[in-house]
Structure 1
Amino acid sequence: MRLLFIHPNFPGQYKHLVEHFAGRPDYEVVAIGAQEKVEPAESSQGIRLIRYPTTAGASPATHHYIRGFEAGVRRGQRVARVAMDLRREGFVPDVICVHPGWGDGLYLKDVFPDSKVLGFFEFFYRPSGSDVGFDPEFPITFDDICRVRTKNGVILQSLESFDWGVAPTAWQHSQHPAPYRNRISTIFDGIDTDFVRPRAGARIHLDHRGFALGDTDEVLTFVNRNLEPYRGFHSFMRALPLIQKRRPRLHTVIVGGDGVSYGRAPLDGSSWRQVMMREVGQGLDISRVHFFPKLPYRSLISLFQVSSVHVYLTYPFVLSWSMVEAMSAGCAVIGSRTAPVQEIIRDGENGLLVDFFSPPGIADAVDEILDEPNRARKLRDRARRTVVERYDLRTVCLPRHVSLIHGLHAGILPGAAAPA
């Protein structure tokens, strides 16, 4: 079987699938990614990796509603040219796996009309009912509503032309338009639960002076790619002074950059970390708050292994891998009572749920876990069991994804893609 994987940030969500197929004698694997995003180290044995040059963004004269669409068209055109080169060389894939969000897949069916195209449909934007307008602290305008509705242009084109799709959670699946949902399977990316597991006696060194925390310390963790309102950073920071006041031995480790992954940057040009430190910093014992812009993956898992309680907050939006990884590592997780989190965390069974907008509620939940170690142990055990049974990479998610690819190749499509 010939497989083509396309992701501007290759491998992205395809890391485990590519590793599964690469180097096997019955498979020829080619991958396409953006020059500016793909690192040389991502080129694995058994894969031919093609990097396309940086694409120009939208023209400044383009209406701001459709700048993303124009950028997607430019990227799709660039990928189509790479695909045409492959076709001229004689490479015609049986199945193409592509993330359509940036436009990479727009013209694949025009280059390879007989290939089956499987899209990773991560999110469909809604002007109401999900992330947009969720947070009253950041009110939206009618202009925002129109912009968001227009933002789906690339995704709609892909939904129309692709053969099948995958969404990682049932809630993300449900956000897509009803006429297309029966052609989207719900398959989570998968967690390597053999690697991401509890470890008795775990310790993590936090600086060059030898300061370390272990699994017998009181450790509160908060992890995201960037520290921003979409992931509840403002609510968490507003809870932290109260948490510290109640728990004088507790250390807090916060991992995340100062950029913006979602939403908007502060109007004053600073970062959300700076904004929140100006707001609550005087009420904090900063010697017990440890910020890291990023941690190596092994260090991140070590952090989860020493964590006494992990807080994960999000708007109704794409669910972060980190929450599920924290559960797999045996964390007692406090999650926001928002749809993507509620799909996985059952309040009082495998974690606790809190109001996204309630700093006192977050602080109370931290106390509830740290003051009741026996209950916390049950939450931890059930959290890990949830991930092992429903989201394990090797036994659940990867086999389903591989089976779907083989089915597409054989012309056998799933009968119905109702969320599990």
Structure 2
Amino acid sequence: MKTLFVHQNCPGQFKHLAPRLAALPGNEVVFITRPGKPDLPGVRKLEYTPARKPAASTHRYLRLTEEGVLNGQAVAKVATELRGKGFRPDVIVAHLGWGEALYLKSVWPGVPLVGYFEWYYRAFGSDVDFDRAPSLDDVCRINTRNSLHLLNLEMADWGLTPTRWQQSQHPAEYQRKLSVIHDGVDTDLVRPNPQVSGRLKDGLNLKAGDEVITYVARNLEPYRGFPQFMRAAALILKRRPQAQILVVGGDGTSYGKALENGQTYRQQMLAELGDDLDLQRIHFLGRVKYDVFLRVLQLSAAHIYLTYPFVLSWSMLEAMAAGCLVIGSRTAPVEEVIKDGKNGLLVDFFSPEEIADGVDHALYNPQKMAVIRRAARQTVLDHYALESCLSQQVQLITAVARGEKSLSSFGGVNTFAR
């Protein structure tokens, strides 16, 4: 089977899937991406560069759509050159968020396309109106932004999305062809380590059993509840004189808006809390290598994960796989995975007091929490383990490539993965 992957940030969500397909006998895998991305074992990588950026004169509602068209044109050019050398994929697998695959079915008519659908924007009922009422301008901009996603939904023969919550955000008439299969967590690598210890920075030596509270996000920003976490951290440090708090994440903005004054959200919260925060016991580690990230999770006595109703972070599932006691926000993507008191604790996203109370509850009840920790890992083993997810993804892609007419077991109400 010949498979073409497309993702501007190779490997993205296809880190494990593309090499797995490449390793199967008789398979050929090509990956089209932006310049400078890493190579994958057994995968031939090709690069594309858009001809230009969206024009400054383009209406701001349409700039992302124009960017998608430019991406699609650039990828189609590379694909046309590939076709000229005799390559015709049996199936195309592409992240469709940036328009890269818009024209590939015109380059190769009849070749099926499996799209990775990460998010469909809504003005109401998810992230946009979570902490404020959207303006008319917000509503119009978001509805227009979805024009690119609607084109993708119509064009794709089938789709992948990692959670039921993300599936539910898409228009009902398209949900029938979106299989819910997570990217998977390597549970052999991400696991508890009762003997973990080590120095995370100068003067900070920790070991399993220490009162370590952890928080992880790609960037420290409101979408991942960073302001609420910081206010809770101030309370936790006052209540618990032995506590050490480890914070992993950068100072950029992945989602939502950056502060207009050029401040980072970390600077803003440090200024807000001032002397209420014991800076000797809260440690900002920045972005760290994966082995350090795993050690942070394994050291954790209580792990705080907060999010808007948005894409669920891989890190929450990794924390559960590492045996963390996750104190998660009572928001839809978290509630899909965590059942309060069963495999984690749920708290009000907007209440620093309730978040701090959750930490107290976790640390005062170690025997009860040990049961919940084991249940957290078992949840990942049962529903999100990498080998199982990869197997399901390969089965789906193979079925689409073969032109199987009945894919009902891969999507709709009876989703292929739980």
TM-score (norm 2): 0.96
C-alpha displacement of 1:28: 0.5
Tell me if the contact between 1:255 and 1:294 (Cα under 8 Å) persists in the aligned partners.
Answer: yes
**Which residue is 1:21 aligned to?**
21
Equivalent-residue separation in structure 1 for 2:244 and 2:292 (angstroms): 17
C-alpha displacement of 1:210: 5.1
Task: Quickly say closer, same or farther: Cα 1:290–1:54, change in 2 above 3 A.
Answer: farther
Work out whether 1:104 is the aligned partner of 2:97. no
Equivalent pairs, count: 412
Q: Given the alignment, which residue of 170, 175, 180 partners 2:174?
A: 180
Q: Deviations over 1:340-380 (max 9, x none)?
A: 00000000100000111000000000000001101111111
**Which residue is 1:222 aligned to?**
215
C-alpha displacement of 1:282: 1.9
Equivalent-residue separation in structure 2 for 1:55 and 1:320 (angstroms): 33
Which residue type is aligned with residue 407 of structure 1? A
Moved over 3 A (4+): none
Work out whether 1:68 is the aligned partner of 2:64. yes
Unaligned runs of 5+ in 1: none
Q: Given the alignment, which residue of 395, 400, 405 partners 2:397?
A: 405
Which residue type is aligned with residue 50 of structure 1? L
Which residue type is aligned with residue 189 of structure 1? D
**Which residue is 1:417 aligned to?**
412
Equivalent-residue separation in structure 2 for 1:203 and 1:56 (angstroms): 50
Tell me if the contact between 1:251 and 1:289 (Cα under 8 Å) persists in the aligned partners.
Answer: yes
Q: Given the alignment, which residue of 193, 196, 208 partners 2:187?
A: 193
C-alpha displacement of 1:44: 2.4
SS of the residue 1:213 aligns to: strand
Which residue type is aligned with residue 25 of structure 1? P
C-alpha displacement of 1:280: 1.1
SS of the residue 2:9 aligns to: coil
Q: Deviations over 1:315-349 (max 9, x none)?
A: 00000000000000000001100000000000010
Equivalent-residue separation in structure 1 for 2:50 and 2:304 (angstroms): 37
Q: Deviations over 1:37-92 (max 9, x none)?
A: x43xx212311101112553211111111111011110111011111111111101
Tell me if the contact between 1:204 and 1:303 (Cα under 8 Å) persists in the aligned partners.
Answer: no
Q: Deviations over 1:139-195 (max 9, x none)?
A: 532111111111112111111111000110001001100111111100011001011
Alignment of 1:2-81 (within 5 A): 2-35=2-35, 38-39=36-37, 42-53=38-49, 56-81=52-77
**Which residue is 2:112 aligned to?**
116
Equivalent-residue separation in structure 2 for 1:169 and 1:57 (angstroms): 32
Equivalent-residue separation in structure 1 for 2:150 and 2:19 (angstroms): 30
Unaligned runs of 5+ in 2: none
Equivalent-residue separation in structure 2 for 1:368 and 1:85 (angstroms): 61
Q: Given the alignment, which residue of 83, 91, 96 partners 1:95?
A: 91
Alignment of 1:233-272 (within 5 A): 233-272=226-265
**Which residue is 2:330 aligned to?**
337
Equivalent-residue separation in structure 2 for 1:248 and 1:409 (angstroms): 59
Task: Quickly say closer, same or farther: Cα 1:323–1:204, change in 2 above 3 A.
Answer: farther
Which residue type is aligned with residue 400 of structure 2? L
Tell me if the contact between 1:34 and 1:54 (Cα under 8 Å) persists in the aligned partners.
Answer: no
Which residue type is aligned with residue 255 of structure 1? V
SS of the residue 1:193 aligns to: coil
C-alpha displacement of 1:292: 1.9
Query: Percent same amino acid at aligned positions?
Result: 50
Tell me if the contact between 1:204 and 1:299 (Cα under 8 Å) persists in the aligned partners.
Answer: no
C-alpha displacement of 1:22: 2.1
Equivalent-residue separation in structure 1 for 2:322 and 2:359 (angstroms): 18
Task: Quickly say closer, same or farther: Cα 1:282–1:140, change in 2 above 3 A.
Answer: farther
Work out whether 1:83 is the aligned partner of 2:79. yes
